[in-house]
Structure 1
Protein backbone atom coordinates (compact mmCIF):
# COMPACT_ATOMS: atom_id res chain seq x y z
CA UNK A 1 0.00 0.00 0.00
CA UNK A 2 1.46 3.35 -0.98
CA UNK A 3 2.02 6.10 1.56
CA UNK A 4 -0.43 8.43 -0.20
CA UNK A 5 -3.16 5.77 -0.23
CA UNK A 6 -2.53 4.92 3.41
CA UNK A 7 -2.88 8.59 4.41
CA UNK A 8 -6.06 8.91 2.31
CA UNK A 9 -7.61 5.96 4.16
CA UNK A 10 -7.11 7.96 7.37
CA UNK A 11 -8.15 11.35 6.00
CA UNK A 12 -8.45 13.97 8.72
CA UNK A 13 -6.63 11.74 11.19
CA UNK A 14 -9.55 9.32 11.44
CA UNK A 15 -10.09 5.96 9.77
CA UNK A 16 -12.50 6.03 6.85
CA UNK A 17 -15.20 3.43 6.32
CA UNK A 18 -12.85 0.87 4.73
CA UNK A 19 -10.27 1.23 7.50
CA UNK A 20 -12.93 0.90 10.22
CA UNK A 21 -13.89 -2.47 8.72
CA UNK A 22 -10.22 -3.42 8.33
CA UNK A 23 -9.58 -2.47 11.98
CA UNK A 24 -12.46 -4.73 13.09
CA UNK A 25 -10.90 -7.62 11.19
CA UNK A 26 -7.51 -6.83 12.75
CA UNK A 27 -8.99 -6.90 16.27
CA UNK A 28 -10.08 -10.49 15.60
CA UNK A 29 -6.81 -11.52 13.95
CA UNK A 30 -4.62 -9.91 16.63
CA UNK A 31 -6.13 -12.22 19.24
CA UNK A 32 -5.08 -15.39 17.38
CA UNK A 33 -2.43 -17.61 19.01
CA UNK A 34 -0.17 -17.43 15.93
CA UNK A 35 0.51 -13.74 16.67
CA UNK A 36 1.62 -14.27 20.27
CA UNK A 37 5.21 -13.35 19.50
CA UNK A 38 4.42 -10.25 17.51
CA UNK A 39 3.77 -6.63 18.40
CA UNK A 40 0.11 -6.98 17.39
CA UNK A 41 -2.32 -6.24 20.24
CA UNK A 42 -5.89 -5.16 20.90
CA UNK A 43 -6.56 -2.19 23.16
CA UNK A 44 -9.97 -1.98 24.80
CA UNK A 45 -11.03 1.33 26.32
CA UNK A 46 -14.34 2.82 27.38
CA UNK A 47 -15.74 5.33 24.87
CA UNK A 48 -15.70 8.85 26.26
CA UNK A 49 -19.17 9.66 24.91
CA UNK A 50 -20.91 6.33 24.41
CA UNK A 51 -19.58 4.60 27.52
CA UNK A 52 -19.28 1.41 25.45
CA UNK A 53 -16.07 -0.58 25.34
CA UNK A 54 -14.20 0.13 22.11
CA UNK A 55 -11.53 -2.17 20.67
CA UNK A 56 -8.66 -0.89 18.56
CA UNK A 57 -5.80 -2.82 16.94
CA UNK A 58 -2.45 -1.43 18.10
CA UNK A 59 1.23 -2.28 17.91
CA UNK A 60 3.24 -2.63 21.10
CA UNK A 61 6.77 -1.22 21.04
CA UNK A 62 8.99 -2.74 23.70
CA UNK A 63 11.97 -0.67 24.81
CA UNK A 64 14.21 -1.99 27.59
CA UNK A 65 11.56 -4.55 28.51
CA UNK A 66 8.82 -1.93 28.90
CA UNK A 67 5.77 -2.00 26.62
CA UNK A 68 4.62 1.24 24.97
CA UNK A 69 1.73 2.30 22.73
CA UNK A 70 2.02 5.08 20.15
CA UNK A 71 -0.71 6.92 18.27
CA UNK A 72 0.32 7.19 14.61
CA UNK A 73 -2.60 9.60 14.09
CA UNK A 74 -1.61 11.98 16.86
CA UNK A 75 -3.52 13.26 19.88
CA UNK A 76 -6.84 13.50 18.03
CA UNK A 77 -7.14 9.74 17.50
CA UNK A 78 -10.28 8.35 19.08
CA UNK A 79 -8.47 5.81 21.22
CA UNK A 80 -6.14 8.49 22.60
CA UNK A 81 -9.05 10.75 23.57
CA UNK A 82 -10.83 7.76 25.12
CA UNK A 83 -7.73 6.78 27.11
CA UNK A 84 -7.33 10.34 28.36
CA UNK A 85 -11.02 10.50 29.37
CA UNK A 86 -10.65 7.14 31.17
CA UNK A 87 -7.70 8.39 33.21
CA UNK A 88 -5.37 6.02 31.37
CA UNK A 89 -7.34 2.90 32.31
CA UNK A 90 -7.68 0.31 29.56
CA UNK A 91 -7.38 -3.39 28.82
CA UNK A 92 -4.68 -4.84 26.59
CA UNK A 93 -4.78 -8.22 24.83
CA UNK A 94 -1.19 -8.98 23.85
CA UNK A 95 0.79 -12.17 23.46
CA UNK A 96 -2.19 -14.32 24.33
CA UNK A 97 -2.86 -12.55 27.60
CA UNK A 98 -5.52 -10.00 28.46
CA UNK A 99 -4.98 -7.67 31.40
CA UNK A 100 -6.09 -4.37 32.82
CA UNK A 101 -3.46 -1.69 32.27
CA UNK A 102 -2.81 1.91 33.07
CA UNK A 103 -1.40 3.97 30.19
CA UNK A 104 0.96 6.69 31.39
CA UNK A 105 1.99 9.47 29.02
CA UNK A 106 5.71 9.49 28.22
CA UNK A 107 7.39 12.93 28.33
CA UNK A 108 8.23 14.29 24.86
CA UNK A 109 11.98 14.22 25.51
CA UNK A 110 11.83 10.46 26.26
CA UNK A 111 9.84 9.49 23.16
CA UNK A 112 12.46 9.18 20.35
CA UNK A 113 13.77 5.68 21.25
CA UNK A 114 10.20 4.44 21.63
CA UNK A 115 9.23 5.97 18.29
CA UNK A 116 12.18 4.26 16.60
CA UNK A 117 11.10 0.88 17.96
CA UNK A 118 7.46 1.57 17.10
CA UNK A 119 8.35 2.35 13.49
CA UNK A 120 10.27 -0.94 13.35
CA UNK A 121 7.33 -3.04 14.57
CA UNK A 122 4.50 -1.05 12.92
CA UNK A 123 5.35 -0.52 9.24
CA UNK A 124 1.79 0.67 8.57
CA UNK A 125 2.48 3.73 10.74
CA UNK A 126 5.44 4.92 8.67
CA UNK A 127 3.36 6.81 6.05
CA UNK A 128 1.59 8.73 8.82
CA UNK A 129 4.76 9.60 10.70
CA UNK A 130 6.80 10.23 7.57
CA UNK A 131 9.84 8.41 8.97
CA UNK A 132 11.21 4.90 9.19
CA UNK A 133 12.98 2.97 11.94
CA UNK A 134 16.35 4.11 10.61
CA UNK A 135 15.56 7.80 11.23
CA UNK A 136 18.02 9.67 13.39
CA UNK A 137 17.10 10.55 16.96
CA UNK A 138 17.23 14.22 15.91
CA UNK A 139 14.53 13.63 13.28
CA UNK A 140 12.47 11.60 15.73
CA UNK A 141 12.71 14.46 18.26
CA UNK A 142 11.14 16.77 15.68
CA UNK A 143 7.97 14.66 15.48
CA UNK A 144 7.86 13.48 19.11
CA UNK A 145 5.58 16.29 20.29
CA UNK A 146 2.83 15.33 17.83
CA UNK A 147 2.79 11.58 18.52
CA UNK A 148 1.36 10.53 21.89
CA UNK A 149 3.36 7.75 23.53
CA UNK A 150 2.14 5.77 26.53
CA UNK A 151 4.02 3.47 28.87
CA UNK A 152 1.95 0.36 29.63
CA UNK A 153 1.76 -0.19 33.38
CA UNK A 154 0.15 -3.11 35.17
CA UNK A 155 -3.11 -2.00 36.73
CA UNK A 156 -3.72 -5.09 38.86
CA UNK A 157 -4.57 -2.87 41.81
CA UNK A 158 -6.98 -0.71 39.76
CA UNK A 159 -10.66 -1.68 39.67
CA UNK A 160 -11.57 -3.71 36.55
CA UNK A 161 -13.06 -1.86 33.58
CA UNK A 162 -16.14 -4.07 33.49
CA UNK A 163 -17.15 -7.58 32.71
CA UNK A 164 -18.42 -6.82 29.20
CA UNK A 165 -14.95 -6.46 27.64
Structure 2
Protein backbone atom coordinates (compact mmCIF):
# COMPACT_ATOMS: atom_id res chain seq x y z
CA UNK A 1 0.00 0.00 0.00
CA UNK A 2 1.14 3.52 -0.78
CA UNK A 3 0.57 5.90 2.12
CA UNK A 4 0.96 9.48 0.94
CA UNK A 5 0.36 12.82 2.58
CA UNK A 6 -2.50 14.89 1.19
CA UNK A 7 -0.24 17.84 0.32
CA UNK A 8 2.00 15.56 -1.76
CA UNK A 9 -0.99 13.92 -3.44
CA UNK A 10 -2.35 17.38 -4.33
CA UNK A 11 1.06 18.53 -5.63
CA UNK A 12 1.30 15.54 -7.97
CA UNK A 13 -2.22 16.13 -9.29
CA UNK A 14 -1.57 19.87 -9.73
CA UNK A 15 1.63 19.13 -11.67
CA UNK A 16 -0.23 16.71 -13.96
CA UNK A 17 -2.95 19.29 -14.62
CA UNK A 18 -0.44 22.10 -15.22
CA UNK A 19 1.68 20.19 -17.75
CA UNK A 20 -1.28 18.86 -19.76
CA UNK A 21 -1.37 18.26 -22.74
CA UNK A 22 2.18 16.94 -22.18
CA UNK A 23 2.84 14.19 -19.69
CA UNK A 24 4.11 15.43 -16.33
CA UNK A 25 6.75 13.50 -14.41
CA UNK A 26 8.65 13.62 -11.16
CA UNK A 27 9.62 11.84 -7.99
CA UNK A 28 8.86 11.97 -4.31
CA UNK A 29 11.91 11.22 -2.23
CA UNK A 30 12.19 9.80 1.25
CA UNK A 31 14.74 8.36 3.65
CA UNK A 32 16.20 5.13 2.31
CA UNK A 33 14.19 2.11 3.46
CA UNK A 34 11.43 4.20 5.08
CA UNK A 35 8.73 4.04 2.36
CA UNK A 36 7.84 7.63 3.36
CA UNK A 37 7.32 9.90 0.35
CA UNK A 38 8.41 13.19 1.91
CA UNK A 39 10.13 15.47 -0.62
CA UNK A 40 8.18 16.32 -3.78
CA UNK A 41 10.43 16.96 -6.79
CA UNK A 42 8.65 17.81 -10.05
CA UNK A 43 10.85 17.11 -13.05
CA UNK A 44 10.85 18.44 -16.59
CA UNK A 45 9.58 16.01 -19.19
CA UNK A 46 12.53 16.11 -21.57
CA UNK A 47 10.40 14.53 -24.30
CA UNK A 48 7.78 17.31 -24.00
CA UNK A 49 5.25 14.84 -25.35
CA UNK A 50 1.60 14.01 -24.67
CA UNK A 51 2.34 10.27 -25.02
CA UNK A 52 5.79 9.76 -23.51
CA UNK A 53 7.93 11.07 -20.69
CA UNK A 54 11.61 11.00 -19.88
CA UNK A 55 13.61 12.70 -17.19
CA UNK A 56 16.29 15.05 -18.47
CA UNK A 57 19.40 12.93 -18.00
CA UNK A 58 21.55 15.61 -16.33
CA UNK A 59 18.71 16.56 -13.95
CA UNK A 60 18.11 12.90 -13.00
CA UNK A 61 21.83 12.28 -12.43
CA UNK A 62 22.14 15.37 -10.22
CA UNK A 63 19.06 14.36 -8.20
CA UNK A 64 20.24 10.74 -7.93
CA UNK A 65 23.66 11.88 -6.65
CA UNK A 66 21.94 14.14 -4.12
CA UNK A 67 19.73 11.26 -2.93
CA UNK A 68 22.80 9.04 -2.60
CA UNK A 69 24.61 11.65 -0.49
CA UNK A 70 21.58 12.11 1.78
CA UNK A 71 20.75 8.38 2.17
CA UNK A 72 17.47 8.89 0.32
CA UNK A 73 15.63 7.06 -2.44
CA UNK A 74 12.85 7.63 -4.94
CA UNK A 75 9.88 6.35 -2.96
CA UNK A 76 7.43 7.44 -5.67
CA UNK A 77 8.10 7.85 -9.37
CA UNK A 78 5.11 9.49 -11.01
CA UNK A 79 3.88 10.59 -14.39
CA UNK A 80 0.62 11.41 -16.07
CA UNK A 81 -1.30 9.95 -18.96
CA UNK A 82 -3.10 12.63 -20.92
CA UNK A 83 -5.52 10.58 -23.01
CA UNK A 84 -5.63 7.12 -21.43
CA UNK A 85 -6.36 5.53 -18.09
CA UNK A 86 -3.85 5.61 -15.24
CA UNK A 87 -2.34 2.21 -16.03
CA UNK A 88 1.28 1.53 -17.02
CA UNK A 89 1.95 1.26 -20.73
CA UNK A 90 4.33 -1.35 -22.14
CA UNK A 91 7.00 1.38 -22.28
CA UNK A 92 6.34 2.33 -18.64
CA UNK A 93 6.74 -1.30 -17.60
CA UNK A 94 9.94 -1.75 -19.60
CA UNK A 95 11.46 1.39 -18.03
CA UNK A 96 10.53 0.52 -14.42
CA UNK A 97 13.95 -0.26 -12.92
CA UNK A 98 13.40 0.50 -9.23
CA UNK A 99 11.59 -2.44 -7.55
CA UNK A 100 11.19 -0.64 -4.21
CA UNK A 101 9.52 2.42 -5.77
CA UNK A 102 5.80 3.03 -6.06
CA UNK A 103 4.92 3.94 -9.65
CA UNK A 104 2.08 6.47 -9.56
CA UNK A 105 0.04 7.37 -12.61
CA UNK A 106 -2.43 10.23 -12.86
CA UNK A 107 -4.83 10.43 -15.78
CA UNK A 108 -5.74 13.92 -16.98
CA UNK A 109 -8.12 12.69 -19.68
CA UNK A 110 -11.76 13.73 -19.77
CA UNK A 111 -11.22 17.29 -18.57
CA UNK A 112 -9.30 16.45 -15.39
CA UNK A 113 -6.57 18.82 -16.58
CA UNK A 114 -8.72 21.92 -16.33
CA UNK A 115 -7.47 24.37 -13.68
CA UNK A 116 -11.06 24.82 -12.47
CA UNK A 117 -11.99 21.14 -12.54
CA UNK A 118 -12.88 20.10 -9.00
CA UNK A 119 -13.96 16.51 -9.60
CA UNK A 120 -11.90 13.43 -8.86
CA UNK A 121 -8.89 12.45 -10.92
CA UNK A 122 -7.70 8.95 -11.61
CA UNK A 123 -4.69 8.48 -9.27
CA UNK A 124 -3.33 4.94 -9.08
CA UNK A 125 -0.20 3.30 -7.73
CA UNK A 126 1.66 0.17 -8.81
CA UNK A 127 4.63 -1.94 -7.92
CA UNK A 128 6.47 -3.03 -11.05
CA UNK A 129 9.05 -5.78 -10.54
CA UNK A 130 10.65 -7.75 -13.38
CA UNK A 131 7.88 -6.65 -15.76
CA UNK A 132 5.07 -7.75 -13.41
CA UNK A 133 2.55 -5.01 -12.58
CA UNK A 134 0.68 -5.13 -9.28
CA UNK A 135 -1.78 -2.39 -8.42
CA UNK A 136 -1.78 -1.32 -4.80
CA UNK A 137 -4.13 0.61 -2.57
CA UNK A 138 -3.46 4.33 -2.09
CA UNK A 139 -4.14 5.81 1.33
CA UNK A 140 -4.07 9.62 1.53
CA UNK A 141 -3.41 10.97 5.04
CA UNK A 142 -3.13 14.46 6.47
CA UNK A 143 0.32 13.62 7.81
CA UNK A 144 2.46 10.55 8.43
CA UNK A 145 1.93 11.04 12.16
CA UNK A 146 -1.73 10.04 11.61
CA UNK A 147 -0.61 6.62 10.39
CA UNK A 148 1.43 5.86 13.48
CA UNK A 149 -0.99 7.27 16.09
CA UNK A 150 -3.74 4.72 15.59
CA UNK A 151 -1.60 1.68 14.80
CA UNK A 152 -0.10 -0.64 17.41
Q: TM-score, normalised by structure 1?
A: 0.33
